[in-house]
């Protein structure tokens, strides 16, 4: 695995058909829907179709989603992705998910380090940005400690149930 996408602890790799069961479990965990744009469960068929059609070509699909695995043994621990890739302005939105049993171990930060290096040094992005609910203190702290700057707050930006929540817009410029 490329050192650009791995270190001694984690590796970022393309999605594989063998990830179907893991993605099915994660995508259908309603507890994380509050921090994602998911509002309904995914079928195995829908996820299979996604995996089957996914090329990993950020320029054609405007997205790059990678599995975060432990270097020792290859255990999947989460996903990290570029979304809304804008090649004209050299920017992308970043998404990060770490499975609950692996949180608090520094794996999210390590994945951010690897993907940020890839964005800057390989793809040539100028900036990454994230939207994070103000209620998600752990995630806000992670991104701010990593060097993302809070550039604004979008009021009543996301609806969860019958309540609207504010989100912070954070940005990292290279």
- The burial class, CB within 10 Å (0-12 / 13-18 / 19+), for 134 is middle
What pTM value is reported for the model? 0.92
Distance, CA of 170 to CA of 144 (rounded, Å): 8
Task: Show the tokens assigned to 116.
Answer: 């940020």
User: What pLDDT score was predicted for residue 86?
Assistant: 97
Task: Show the tokens assigned to 89.
Answer: 């302005």
DSSP 2: -
Q: Does domain 3-125 have CATH number 3.40.630.30?
A: yes
pLDDT-flagged residues of the chain (< 50): none
């Amino acid at each position: 695995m490329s050192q650009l996408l791995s270190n001694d602890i984690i590796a970022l790799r393309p999605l594989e058909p063998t990830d179907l069961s893991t993605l099915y479990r994660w995508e259908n965990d309603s507890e994380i829907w509050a921090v994602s744009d998911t509002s309904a469960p995914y079928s195995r068929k829908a996820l299979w179709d996604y995996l089957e059609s996914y090329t990993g070509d950020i320029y054609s699909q405007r997205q790059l989603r990678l599995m975060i695995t432990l270097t020792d043994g290859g255990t999947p621990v989460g996903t990290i992705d570029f979304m809304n890739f804008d090649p004209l302005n050299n920017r992308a939105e970043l998404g990060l998910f770490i499975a609950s049993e692996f949180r608090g171990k520094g794996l999210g930060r390590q994945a951010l380090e690897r993907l940020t290096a890839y964005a800057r040094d390989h793809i040539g992005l100028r900036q990454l940005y994230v939207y994070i609910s103000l209620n998600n203190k752990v995630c806000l702290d992670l991104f701010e400690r990593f060097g993302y700057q809070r550039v604004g707050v979008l009021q009543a930006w996301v609806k969860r149930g019958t309540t609207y929540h504010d989100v912070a817009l954070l940005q990292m410029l290279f």
